[in-house]
Chains A and B, each alone.
Chain A
Amino acid sequence: DTGVSQNPRHKITKRGQNVTFRCDPISEHNRLYWYRQTLGQGPEFLTYFQNEAQLEKSRLLSDRFSAERPKGSFSTLEIQRTEQGDSAMYLCASSLIQASQETQYFGPGTRLLVL
Chain B
Amino acid sequence: DAKTTQPNSMESNEEEPVHLPCNHSTISGTDYIHWYRQLPSQGPEYVIHGLTSNVNNRMASLAIAEDRKSSTLILHRATLRDAAVYYCILRDGDTGRRALTFGSGTRLQVQP
Chain A residues within CB distance 8 Å of chain B: 4, 31, 33, 35, 40-45, 48, 55-56, 58, 91, 93, 95, 100-101, 103-109
Closest partner residue, chain B, to A4 (CB atom): B43
Q: Is the CB of B104 within 8 A of A42?
A: yes
- Per DSSP, chain B at the interface is loop
Report B-chain residues with C-beta under 8 Å of the C-beta of A93. 43-44
Closest partner residue, chain A, to B100 (CB atom): A104
Q: Is the CB of A45 within 8 A of B43?
A: no
Report B-chain residues with C-beta under 8 Å of the C-beta of A35. 100, 102
A44 touches which of B85, B87, B98, B102 (Cβ 8 Å):
B102
Q: Is the CB of B100 within 8 A of A108?
A: no
Interface-central residue, B49, B93, B98, by most chain A CB under 10 Å: B98
Closest partner residue, chain B, to A109 (CB atom): B43
User: Interface residue tally of chain B, by bracket?
Assistant: 20 to 34
Closest partner residue, chain B, to A89 (CB atom): B43
- What's the minimum C-beta distance from B22 to chain A, rounded to whole angstroms? 13
Cβ < 8 Å to A, chain B residues 17-71:
32, 34, 36, 41-46, 49
Report B-chain residues with C-beta under 8 Å of the C-beta of A48. 98-99
Q: Is the CB of A101 within 8 A of B49?
A: yes
- What's the minimum C-beta distance from A57 to chain B, rounded to whole angstroms? 10
Q: Is the CB of B46 within 8 A of A105?
A: yes
20 more A-B residue pairs beyond the given contacts A31-B98, A105-B46, with a C-beta to C-beta distance below 8 A: A33-B99, A35-B100, A43-B44, A48-B98, A56-B97, A56-B99, A91-B43, A91-B44, A93-B44, A100-B94, A100-B96, A101-B34, A101-B91, A103-B46, A104-B46, A105-B45, A106-B43, A106-B44, A107-B43, A109-B42
Q: How far is the CA of A10 from the CA of B28 in the complex (A)?
A: 40
Closest partner residue, chain B, to A6 (CB atom): B43
Cβ < 8 Å to A, chain B residues 61-112:
85, 87, 91, 93-94, 96-105
Q: How far is the CA of A41 from the CA of B104 in the complex (A)?
A: 5
Report B-chain residues with C-beta under 8 Å of the C-beta of A45. 99-101
